[in-house]
């Protein structure tokens, strides 16, 4: 059986991938000019024909760099918290306090005991924060009629 020929330049679109040549002898690197290479050329075969422009060595390799991912600033994406409503934020804060207290994330379950090693003063402060967050969350839910829509309260 013959081995498959390998990936060609057409397998790596220029808008998503950059083909880099790297000299193993001196560490010099540079981008391969794609216009001088036919699209049906096998990428691995190109490495055998390369010569370093800095030291003249033929000990070169090809590295394919994916450039398709951009940061959230380039895509103009907001942080997740910037899309939260007031109610979402209160629920997230309540869950965070509950996690700190070692309780489950369910807002319906009470916090029964202080975690080992936590000061009573800290525990009481966190319980008060949890209760305040939970009260504001339920007040907003009631204001928007979420309990009636989901059938949580008998009217």
Calculate mean pLDDT across residues 58-74: 82
Could you give the domains of the chain? 9-66 (2.20.28.10), 81-144 (no CATH)
Would the pLDDT of 68 be above 80? no
pLDDT digits (tens, 9 = 90+) for 85-127: 887 887 788 788 878 888 777 777 777 778 888 899 988 888 8
Q: Based on the number of CB atoms within 10 Å of its own CB, is 153 exposed (0-12), middle (13-18) or buried (19 or more)?
A: exposed
Number of helices (H), then strands (E), belonging to the chain: the values are 4, 3
What is the percentage of the chain residues whose pLDDT exceeds 90? 6
58-82 exposure pattern, b = at least 16 Cβ within 10 A, e = fewer: eebebeeeeeeeeeeeeeeeeeeee
pLDDT value of residue 49: 85
Model pLDDT, residue 148 = 58
Which pLDDT tens digit goes with each residue over 34-60?
888 888 888 888 888 888 889 999 998
Q: Is the pLDDT of residue 7 over 70?
A: yes
């Amino acid at each position: 059986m013959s081995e498959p020929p390998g990936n060609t330049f057409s397998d790596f679109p220029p808008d998503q991938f950059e083909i880099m040549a790297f000299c193993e002898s001196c560490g010099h690197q540079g981008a391969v000019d794609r216009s001088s290479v036919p699209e049906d050329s096998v990428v691995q075969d190109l490495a055998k024909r390369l010569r370093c422009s800095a030291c003249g060595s033929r000990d070169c390799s090809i590295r394919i760099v994916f450039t398709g991912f951009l940061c959230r600033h380039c895509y103009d994406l907001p942080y997740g918290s910037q899309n939260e409503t007031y109610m979402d934020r209160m629920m997230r804060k309540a869950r965070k306090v509950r996690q700190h207290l070692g309780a489950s994330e369910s807002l319906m379950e009470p916090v029964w005991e202080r975690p080992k090693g936590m000061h009573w003063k800290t525990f009481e402060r966190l319980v008060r924060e949890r209760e305040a967050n939970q009260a504001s969350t339920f007040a907003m839910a009631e204001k928007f009629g979420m309990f009636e829509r989901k059938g949580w309260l008998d009217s």
